[in-house]
Every structure is written in C-alpha cells, then in structure tokens.
Amino acid sequence: MGLKPTRTRYAKNHWRTLLLGAGVLATGVADASLQNEDVSQDLVVKYATNRICRTLDQGRCKEWDDVKLRSYNGQLVGPTIEARPGDTLRIVLDNQLPPEPVRGMVDPNIPHGFNVTNLHTHGLHVSPAGNADNVMLSLEPGQKFEYEIKIPADHPAGTFWYHAHKHGSVSIQVSSGMAGALIIRGGLDEVPAIRAARERVFVFQQIPYALINDPYVPGTRANMVEDFEASFAEGRWEASGRRTTINGIVEPVIKMRGGEVQRWRFIHAGFRESLRIKLVRERDPQSVVSYYQLAHDGLATGRLDQVDETVMHPGYRTDVLVRAGNRPETYLLIDEATAAEESFTGLSETRKVLARIEIEGSFSSMPLPDTASLAPYAPFKSITNEELTGTQEARFDIDVQSTPAKYLINGKPFDPDTPPRKLTLGAVEEWRVSSSPLTSHIFHIHVNPFQIVTADGKGIWRDTLFVKANQSVRLRTRYERYVGKFVTHCHILDHEDQGMMEVLEIVHPGTSMHEKQH
C-alpha cells in the first residue's frame, strides 16, 4: 500500500474498558472474533498536542503541561490491538511526520532520522521477513505501508506489545509514546476464575519532555522530546521530576469492589527506567498487599505465584491477579524506592505513586484459580541438556574511552555492512549473555523466546531479560518455523540507537554461512 519503505543507507566506519485516570479513559480496540480473521488497524504517525499532569493534589491534577510529541493516531499511547492465534494482523502504518533535512550518508550509531519509522510486534513468534515483523524496513515521512503479520495457529495467548523500531530513532519515538498493547486472546482467558475477573491493561511510559526554561534544551523545543542527549542522559529522568504514566495518565484512579479479583496486564513501554511495583495501603504505606503473578512476557507460567513486588524493566510484561480486601479503603500502586547501590542507574530513587485503587462497597470474595487449572497453559516444554545442539554468546559493553562512547555486543558496534550471525533452523542453543562491570543491560531477541536456565531445569520463558552489571545468565532457545533476518539488542533504547544491536539470520539446514536465503 502506498510507497514502498526504504532501507536506510549508512556510512560504513480491549475487549473491555481498560482503565483510566481521575475519570474514565478508554483505549481503542481492534476486535477479534472466535474465527480466524484479518485484524485491521491504522496507525497514523504524526505530531500531536496532548496534556500530561505535572502536579497533583489529593488525586486531582493542579498543573498540566501541554506536550507536542510524535504519536500513533494523535494519542499519548497507541490503540490496544487484539487478535487470536491463527489471525492475520493488517496494520497500515502511515508516516505523516514532516520531512527532515537530507543528511546523506550517516554513521548508523549516531542517533538520527527521528521522523523515519517502522514497526515491531514485540514478543510475537512470527516471520521477520517481507512485510511481516521486519525491522529492517524504513518508512520515510510521507510513506504508507501495510504490515501483514500472520499469527501461527499454535501461538501462545498473552500480553505483547508493539512499538517503533527504526534504528537511530527508537528511543526518541518510543519515549514520545509510540507504543501500544497487543493482546493475543485465548489460553488463560478461558480459565473460569480468570474469565470472571475484570481486566485492565497498564501501559507504563516515561515521557522525558523538556520544560520551558529547562537548562538542558533550547527553549524552542520545550515540552517536546527532540534532544537525544538531554532526554537520555544518565539520571536525567529521576532529576526531572517527571512521572511514569499509565495509559497516558499520571496517577489514574482504579475502582474495585470489596473481595473483587481483577486481572492486570502490566506492559513496560518505557525507554530506560525500571519499576519496582508494589501495592500498599494508603492508611499505612508500609503495609504491603500481596498479589499473584500468572505470566511473564506474555507466556503463562502454569502456576500462581504470590508476590509482594514485581520488578519491571523496559520491554517486560507481567500478568497479575489482584484481590481487593473486604472493606472500603484505598490502595496505592507504587514504584518502590531504591538505594543507589541497588538501582539500575546507580542513583538513589524515591518512592513514587503510580495509581490509586479505591475499594468501594462489599462483595463476597471471588475465587482465585488453582494450579491444576493453570498448568495446561504453560506453552513450552523445558529444554534439556540432551536437546542442545550448540552455543552462542552476547556480551554487552560500553567503550567509554572512545569519543563518542561505543555501544558494543561482543566487542563490536552495529554495522549494517557486517554479515549477520547465522543460526540454523531447527537448532536448539544455549546463549551466555553478560553485562560488563560498567553498567547493566537488558537483553531482547526477536522471533523466538528463550528459557532461563535454572538449577531445577524449570526456568521461566521470556523474550526480554535484565542482566546486571558484571554478571552473566544462561538462556536456551529453539529456532523454530521461520527463517530470515532479525535482531538482538539492549532494550535500554538509547543504548540500542547508539550501536548495541546485532543482526541475526536463521537459515535452512545445510545452507552455506555465505549463501543468501530466498
């Protein structure tokens, strides 16, 4: 549809009302029937002016900032898209951002092309080729393109998301709000105790817009996300006083009845900052309310884990069940304080309120599902030692001695002219992923999820994983169904834009490492 997307040349060297704020806010939904079908969604990429609350008083906004940001369909968060296994997503991406000055050949790892875009369906096990989940494509301003993403009939049901993924502009665009929820229906949805629960989707975002008279940015760019260095400097978010939004809202109010169970789908669509999500009682902020985890990164665990805290890093998703107490009161959903030595950024972080949960009335306690009802929905069998056919390594590092600093995987920055690392269809491999002593990183790989290796051989499955500084983890994955080129990268998105990304290619067995796939 429309002009074909281009490949950038570089210089070598809801299904239900979801949630809302002080009032009620609904996000758009693309309906999915029980029959396999085409699920269509138009995404218009354009600048839009919206409002973000700056200060609150007793849950009411006192001061607003009018922000002008790149967006999907003019909103602070993209529409929620719903589909079922076997459906085909048809997403028309229409880039209506203004043209930028022609720069000619550019260094691929200097952030650039902020008005050039594409699309990634994060976590889906789908083809990375053609007009499917192909992040090698680029849509210049004025171009329109239809993605056709065929979801396998045996695809796990769960919580996924989509976002901009054009190398060089990912962090600018995602931190402006170019992201949205992608829900694959089925699976846990059919468990009676979960089907009876009201569902809410939480898209967590950190939008680092500048303020008027901000010393870090020119005044002409106030209330925008335009300056890469000012927006993503270490510690800048914590110092800015900005608030994490949920579906575009600062500190929304969520209603629950006494004894009610709700299913909350958490999606961390932020660019850098981590969240330590807890529920506490407003009358006693040290009194923690436990809740129950069901799935990570859209993949059911097959059990119900009672927890006091969920740690969310950029790219993570977690499904939880929350049961309200049996008397009227208010809970606070918080991002817990973190000491400097434990912080992802190395700086101390204060406790912040993310949302208010108001429990009203009385209701007999709704049941929680038992393990027997959840176990059948764990989508993958564990990978055993006997199944392994090879190994891979990914070492994240930053060379701070270079000017500018170099962001590296296995000692090399992203280079579009470097042949991709070849992987063989049908192989099962163990990856050793590590972060250098300097800083922590977040490993993400497209197309195929991985299992975290644990002593009992029952590690959970994910597609995104935090790797602490000076530590390594072992992950196992199967290269199934699809061939083609895709990427692995750090999901701290400003790291990815500056070179912490590598192209991989799955090829058919027997293919020469230098032979091109068709």
Q: What is the mean pLDDT of residues 464-480?
A: 97
Q: What's the pLDDT band for 245 if we cut at 50, 70, 90?
A: very high
Residue 105 has pLDDT above 90, yes or no: no
Least confident of 18-22, 286-290, 389-393, 480-484: 18-22
Residue 218, pLDDT score: 63
Residue 216, pLDDT score: 62
By the 8 A CB rule, do 26 and 134 touch? no
Residue 31, pLDDT score: 44
374: alpha, beta or left? (left if phi > 0; alpha if psi -120 to 50) = alpha
Q: What is the mean pLDDT of residues 449-473?
A: 95
- Residue 110 is classified by DSSP as S
Residue 21 has pLDDT above 60, yes or no: no
For residues 450-475, b (16+ Cβ closer than 10 Å) or e, as one string?
A: bbebeeeeebbbbbbbbbeeeeebeb
Residue 511, pLDDT score: 82
Residue 310 has pLDDT above 60, yes or no: yes
Which H or E run contains 193?
helix 192-195
Tens digit of each residue's pLDDT (9 = 90 or more) over 217-231: 666 677 899 888 878
- Residue 87 is classified by DSSP as -
Q: What does the mean pLDDT of the chain come to?
A: 89
Q: What's the pLDDT band for 212 if we cut at 50, 70, 90?
A: low
Residue 102, pLDDT score: 76
pLDDT more than 70, % of the chain: 87
CA distance 328 to 312: 29
Residue 4, pLDDT score: 43
Q: What's the pLDDT band for 33 if we cut at 50, 70, 90?
A: very low
Residue 239, pLDDT score: 67
pLDDT more than 90, % of the chain: 75
Say how far residue 240 (Cα) sits from the centre of its chain: 22
Residue 397, pLDDT score: 98
Residue 11, pLDDT score: 36
Tens digit of each residue's pLDDT (9 = 90 or more) over 109-134: 999 999 999 999 999 999 999 999 99
CA distance 386 to 354: 45
By the 8 A CB rule, do 109 and 499 touch? yes
- Residue whose tokens read 């107490």: 325
CB within 8 A of 220, min separation 6: which ones? none
Q: What's the pLDDT band for 518 if we cut at 50, 70, 90?
A: very low
Q: What is the mean pLDDT of residues 152-165?
A: 98
Tens digit of each residue's pLDDT (9 = 90 or more) over 489-505: 999 999 999 999 999 99
Residue 334, pLDDT score: 97
Residue 515 has pLDDT above 70, yes or no: no
Tens digit of each residue's pLDDT (9 = 90 or more) over 369-417: 999 999 999 999 999 999 999 999 999 999 999 989 999 999 999 999 9
Global pTM? 0.91
Tens digit of each residue's pLDDT (9 = 90 or more) over 428-454: 999 999 999 989 999 999 999 999 999
Tens digit of each residue's pLDDT (9 = 90 or more) over 331-379: 999 999 887 666 666 667 789 999 999 999 877 789 999 999 999 999 9
Residue 16, pLDDT score: 30
Residue 6, pLDDT score: 38
Which H or E run contains 170?
helix 170-174
Domains and CATH numbers, the chain: 29-187 (2.60.40.420), 203-376 (2.60.40.420), 385-507 (2.60.40.420)
Which H or E run contains 158?
strand 158-163
CA distance 5 to 131: 10
